[in-house]
Amino acid sequence: MSLVLFAATGCARCQIAKKFMREKNLGFDEHDAIGEGKELFGKFYRAHRAAIVRGADGVEFPVLADGSEVRQGVAAVIAWLQAGARLDGFIGRSEVSRGWVGGLHVSKGDPDALEDLLAVLGFLKRSGLKLELDTDGRNAAVLERLLSQGLGDRVVMDLKGPQPLYAALIGGPVDPEEVQRSMTLAAGFPEYRFETTVAPVGRAEEGPEAIRYLTPDEVAETALWLKTATGSHRQPYVLRAFNPQDAFDERLRSVEMLTPAALFRHRSAARRHQVMAEIE
């Protein structure tokens, strides 16, 4: 496997990736994408636009190529070098900067790859980066291992909704006890918060086309579940507006957004059980 690393002058995360490669005795060709390798990277970028994200501040480095795959960002690069595609569910694109690494999805990865995940996150942590994890309640055993090893500086739990609707909101089977266990674990991290997107959901009992937003009472039920799981009515709890344009389900893209007044009713309902509930 021939490895090519595109880095940038002054990029601390590039140095972390290079340190990992050297510790693993992985040979690689390095190019400064804003220096001597600028023209080469320009050609590479044009040939791999679909695989490289360019944000408002430009391209995030490092970018790794091995002849068949392209990985971008320090966590994704190190994950690929550690375990190939086995960690793809756990580690995605990071939107967190200033010393933080995000895009760490506890619930989306394969638990059988846990040891590789621990190795990657441990290296990032030892390199001085802070780790933001997200979870929707699944893979609670993975979250527990991360907590026990101090591999998580912040956890954001996407608490989908009340227990009876959780499977419909998540789009697949789910164990409510595991979700409740994840709530308890999340509250044990140095920083954490819970979020609920006030989203539309299919109501099976009303027919296949019955889609309605979570009601204020259902959000209150969610807040009560959080109180029961964690033993506290003062958890950091944020309600988010659903954006139909972000929906994967085609049926939801034509749903009208909730008005601010409607969201205030949801917040008032949530505050029956979580007095710190706010709207994002």
Please say if the pLDDT value at position 94 is more than 90.
no
Residue ranges with strand state E in 136-275? 154-158, 191-198, 200-202, 211-213, 237-241
The mean pLDDT value of the chain amounts to 94
Residue 134 counted as domain residue: no
Predicted local distance difference test score (pLDDT) of residue 206: 62
Domain of residue 256, residue span: 155-280
What per-residue confidence (pLDDT) applies to 106?
Answer: 98
Residue 188 is assigned to a structural domain of this protein: yes
Residue 261 lies in a domain: yes
Smallest Cα–Cα separation from 136: which of 114, 91, 169?
A: 169
Q: Residue 47 above 80 pLDDT?
A: yes
| Amino acid 252: pLDDT | 74
- CATH (domain of 207): 3.30.750
Q: Which of 33-42, 91-100, 115-124, 191-200 has the lowest mean pLDDT?
A: 91-100
**Side-chain half-sphere exposure of 73, counting CA atoms within 13 A:** 23
Residue identified by tokens 């964690």 is 230
Q: How do residues 154-169 score in pLDDT, each as one tens digit?
A: 999 999 999 999 999 9
Query: pLDDT at position 185, please?
Result: 98
Query: Is 101 a domain residue?
Result: no
Where does the pLDDT of residue 205 fall: very low under 50, low under 70, confident under 90, or very high at 90 and above?
low
Q: What is the 3-state secondary structure (H, E, C) of 196-223?
A: EEECEEECHHHCCCCEEECCHHHHHHHH
Q: Is residue 244 part of a domain?
A: yes
Does 36 reside within a domain? no
Do the domain assignments include residue 91? no
pLDDT confidence of residue 174: 97
Write the pLDDT tens digit of every residue in 225-251.
999 999 999 999 999 999 887 777 777
Q: Is residue 212 part of a domain?
A: yes
Average pLDDT over residues 125-135: 97
Number of domains forming the structure of the chain: 1
CA distance linking residue 96 with residue 152, whole number of Å: 14
